[in-house]
Amino acid sequence: MFVSTQVSSYDPDADIGGDADMGRDDHDWSEMEARSSGNLWVKGDTIRVCFKLGSDAVVRGRVRQYAQMWESYANIKFKFFTKKWPDEDSDVRIAFKKKKDGNNSQVGTNVLNVPEDRPTMNLNITHKTSKTETQRLVLHEFGYLLGCKHEHSSPAAKIKWNKPEVYKYYYLKCRWDEGKVDRNVLNITETTQHSRFDKKSIMLYRIPPNLTLNGFSVPKAAGELSPTDKSFIAMMYPPDEVRCHRCKERIHTSHPNQGHKCQLKYI
């Protein structure tokens, strides 16, 4: 699992985080400038998530339930509410549009620059979508919201892609041109903050064996957070206080060595 440490700049043709296993990402949303620290929120932030007035209450309840699974590991809170758009009080606005709009989200704090009358995330789900699939999609898209990127784009992935087959696959499945496939699948994101490649990460696409040169494959996209997802997001958004395992003293993670007797770093 990994996050991007680069700040995104305005690009009218940029792609956003999406799920190629369900529908298409056809939005022309822009990936605008985020906070100077990159795409990450500040630990302890409360992210205000707005559903559009008139959306399905059952679906809203499931999104809330599955999104809050991230809160068990990241020092982040989601505050959900339903309101008419445009809404100046929200950070995130979730739409439930038809299949051609796919499942997608702006990455991290990029949501803060999206116009208040436009969604920052789309979930192609209804009350008929299975709970298992709903959980997978919600965890995946909220991973983008927390600043996570595609696992197959990690510097640690080192996947030997069969590029002609990859281009063909995503054109037939999503109608993506080669440039979009490069940006969403083949390109490696430069970052210093990443774990070992995690084949069970919620942020990994399904990879059929014919898309690689050595038969490497991911038969099925993960439906839950992996152990590495949990530990990595906890490192990116650590709790306010931890206990030193050597001296048992409580350490504030914003100032890990200030006044700490044994000077053991908390990470």
CATH classification for the domain delimited by 17-234, as one of 3.40.50.620, 3.30.465.10, 3.40.50.2000, 3.40.390.10 = 3.40.390.10
Q: How far is the C-alpha of 157 from the C-alpha of 218, rounded, in Å?
A: 12
Q: How far apart are CA 117 and CA 134, in angstroms?
A: 25
DSSP states along 41-95 = PPTT-EEEEEEETTS-HHHHHHHHHHHTTGGGTSS-EEEEEEEPSS-TT-SEEEE
pLDDT at 87: 81
In the chain, pLDDT over 90 holds for what percent of residues? 48
Which residues share a beta bridge with 242?
A: 251
Domain segments of the chain: what residues?
A: 17-234
For residue 244, what are its two tokens?
Answer: 């030193």
- 180-236 pLDDT per residue, tens: 899 888 887 766 566 778 889 999 888 999 999 988 899 888 899 999 999 989 989
Q: What is the pLDDT of residue 103?
A: 87
Q: pTM for this one? A: 0.79
